[in-house]
Amino acid sequence: MYIKRLSLRSFRNYEAAELEFSPLTNVIYGNNAQGKTNILEAVYLFSQGRSHRAKSDKELIRFGDEFARLSLDFRDSERSYGCNMQIAKNGRKSVSINHVHIMKLSKLMNYLNVVMFSPEDLELVKGSPSARRRFIDSSVSQLYPAYLAALMDYNKALAQKNSLLKALRAKGSRTDIMLSVWNEQLAQNGSKIMEARAGFTKFINGAAAAVQNEISGETLRIGYRPGVRTEDRSPEAIFEYLSSKESREIDMAASMYGVQRDDLDISVNGCEARLFGSQGQQRTAALSMKIAQAEYIKSIKGEYPVLLLDDIMSELDINRRMYLSERIRDKQVLITSTDTDLIDKDTDTRLFRIENGTVIN
Ligand code: ATP
Ligand code: MG
């Protein structure tokens, strides 16, 4: 799939801008703080329904303005889509695709798929487990709405269970019938989530290992480490496991087991990458995982997602840059950089110079 045109009104530091993209490489360049990442953020918004960096949607509206208005035209192998979005000061977003109003923003990801590469991807390897869970969740929910639904139901039940555990501690009580009701719901949804996460990890392990090996000859291994230690991922087995941990969870007044504690084990040449990997090995592992994420979307959708590369070329050495350039050559990619020399260009490459919220072609 590829995006054809983006139009911005009162978005971030843009009063008004129009960009017509090449279906292949697009380079968005300029000095720091001019509005390069803002362009990628706008595209990301049309896929994920939320910004990759703003805490509140209000931040997206140009200072002093009431509304931000964005539109994006894109197409996949079957058809074209025109998508409009309006963001109001109270945080309300209204979105339509081909003039049909979209009630749930999470529906957007069924239409437009993107993968964002940024220097913060290093967190996938070095950061906390929640960064790795977000990586899994954003990949899988782009393709399986039922996964997102299970995740949301799971989180609702988890919040209820956590407040019950706290209430039990406050009362000094050690039993409540509702505990097994919540565990039952956690087991039902947890089972679906674990199955999907295990399947995703298996794919990513194969694809990312191939990339890492090609770049550096190293052996990358990514394994799924579930927060419920059962071989059997059926709802019954998970329920039984959670039930056996009730007493400990009551002691701790917190849910200690479940998919909210899932993680990925990432190793390079047999050593845990988080603790023993060099910066370069960690960066390569993160890059391999993101390329694998794009391959995963392709394997299910039959089409590559749009690749958004935010300022990552300057972080990579020449070998990794060359490898990445080769991998993205036949796909649509939007690359931001302060230095166009770092990017491979050919006759199809389109360049956009950004200066203080203005696109200068
Ligand atoms: P760098 O190379 O440093 O990453 P960049 O070109 O990617 O820079 P962006 O993050 O896209 O920069 O844009 C940052 C600019 O946008 C800053 O000057 C910031 O003040 C401005 N900006 C951010 N939000 C708003 C807003 N709501 N209204 C007006 N300007 C904004
Ligand atoms: Mg930037």
Nearest to 354 by CA among 311, 320, 323, 312: 311
Ligand (nearest to CA of 29): 1
| Nearest residue to 190 (alpha-carbon basis) of 247, 138, 257 | 257
Taking a C-beta distance cutoff of 8 angstroms, is the pair 281, 220 a contact?
no
Q: Which atom of ligand 1 is nearest to the CA of 338?
A: 2
* Residue ranges of the chain that CATH labels 3.40.50.300: 1-113+305-361
Residue ranges, comma separated, of all CATH 1.20.1050.90 domains in the chain are 122-301
Instruction: Residue 209: count other Cβ atoms within 10 Å of its Cβ.
Output: 18
Residue 76 burial (10 A CB sphere; 0-12, 13-18, 19+): middle
338: Cβ below 6 Å to ligand 1? yes
Q: Which amino acid is at 333?
A: V
- Is ligand 1 within 6 A of the CB of residue 358? no
Q: Is the CB of 13 under 6 A from ligand 1?
A: yes
pLDDT tens digits in sequence order for the chain, 361 residues long: 999 999 999 999 999 999 999 999 999 999 999 999 999 999 999 999 999 999 999 999 999 999 999 999 999 999 999 999 999 998 899 999 999 999 999 899 999 999 999 999 999 999 999 999 999 999 999 899 999 999 999 999 999 999 999 999 999 988 889 999 999 999 999 999 999 999 999 999 999 999 999 999 999 999 999 999 988 999 999 999 999 999 999 999 999 999 999 999 999 999 999 999 999 999 999 999 999 999 999 999 999 999 999 999 888 889 999 999 999 999 999 999 998 888 888 888 999 999 999 999 7
What angle in degrees, to the nearest 10, is found between the helix axes of 177-216 and 318-328?
Answer: 110
CB of 62 closer than 6 angstroms to any ligand 1 atom: yes
- CATH 3.40.50.620 for the 1-113+305-361 domain, yes or no: no
**CB of 37 shorter than 6 A to ligand 1:** yes
CA of 35, closest atom in ligand 1: 11
Q: Which superfamily does CATH assign the domain made up of 122-301 to?
A: RecF/RecN/SMC, N-terminal domain (1.20.1050.90)
**CA-based nearest residue to 27, from 319, 355, 320, 338:** 338
pLDDT tens-digit map of 229-252:
988 999 999 999 999 999 999 999
Measure the CA–CA gap between 336 and 117, rounded to whole angstroms. Answer: 10
Q: Ligand 2 center to residue 36 CA distance, Å?
A: 5
The pLDDT tens digits for 1-32 are 999 999 999 999 999 999 999 999 999 999 99
Distance CA 113, CA 42 (A): 13
Give the contacts of 20 (CB within 8 A, at least 6 positions apart). Answer: 4, 5, 350
Chain position carrying tokens 């706008």: 42
Neighbours of ion ligand 2 (CB under 5 A): 36-37
Asked if residues 115 and 294 have their Cβ atoms less than 8 Å apart, the reply is: yes
Return the best residue to mutate from 36, 309, 314 for the ligand 1 pocket (most ligand atoms within 8 A of CB): 36
